[in-house]
Chain A
Amino acid sequence: SQQGEEDPQALSIQEGENATMNCSYKTSINNLQWYRQNSGRGLVHLILIRSNEREKHSGRLRVTLDTSKKSSSLLITASRAADTASYFCATDSAAGGTSYGKLTFGQGTILTVHP
């Protein structure tokens, strides 16, 4: 079953606007991570939020986590054309005992930022 599901599937905005992407998941988690992928190749780790955290910031990124709703959001403020990429959430599930870092990825949100 799909653990992480992002919405929207695609988002198109103008440079300078904020971009918000959402992620929902089904099972209990140890942490939730966001990754960025350019041109369908390697992913870059952006930010990790643990299950006991509610909000985390890193530069222009803000991530929130609501474990009661099993959802997370990624906000990119003051977007730039260079932010154009696919963004994935990934969950480290707490089920089955000690986590070893296996991640379950969602389908991703394609973000396009127009100059």
Chain B
Amino acid sequence: GAGVSQSPSNKVTEKGKDVELRCDPISGHTALYWYRQSLGQGLEFLIYFQGNSAPDKSGLPSDRFSAERTGGSVSTLTIQRTQQEDSAVYLCASSRQGTNGYTFGSGTRLTVV
């Protein structure tokens, strides 16, 4: 596609439920990143994919968070047993080789009630 597409754009979920966030990067971009932005804060790195593998998942906050990428394209970020502190905007970005800046998606605003 022309840009990085994320879905859903907004998600309200009850505490304890699982959620799945989707990112569709720009075609041909091998590097994909997930970041999280809490209200009024900067971006917090979660995980990096090169192709389908995740050489750096050091930013995932807990074992409730997992992510995968298939076909070197679409990635899903799954949060199990959501907590209120998981409420944030989850941003996905992709780049060709990670050296010339990212293209970000519009994010998924997750609200856990």
Contact = CB atoms under 8 A, between A and B. Distances in A.
A107 B42 CA distance: 4
Nearest to B44: A105
Given A35-B104, A42-B91, A101-B98, 15 more contacts: A31-B99, A41-B106, A42-B4, A42-B106, A44-B104, A45-B104, A48-B101, A88-B42, A100-B31, A100-B48, A100-B50, A101-B48, A102-B98, A103-B43, A105-B42
B55 A100 contact: yes
Contacts, number: 67
Contact of A104 (B45, B48, B56): B45
A103 B102 contact: yes
Q: Chain B's interface: helix, strand, loop or mixed, by majority?
A: strand
Interface of B: 4, 31, 33, 35, 37, 41-45, 48, 50, 55-56, 89, 91, 93, 95, 97-107, 109
Contacts of A59: none
Interface size class of A (residues with CB under 8 A): 20 to 34
Interface of A: 4, 31, 33, 35, 40-45, 48, 88, 90, 92, 99-108
Q: Which of A4, A48, A100, A104 has the most CB of B within 10 A?
A: A100
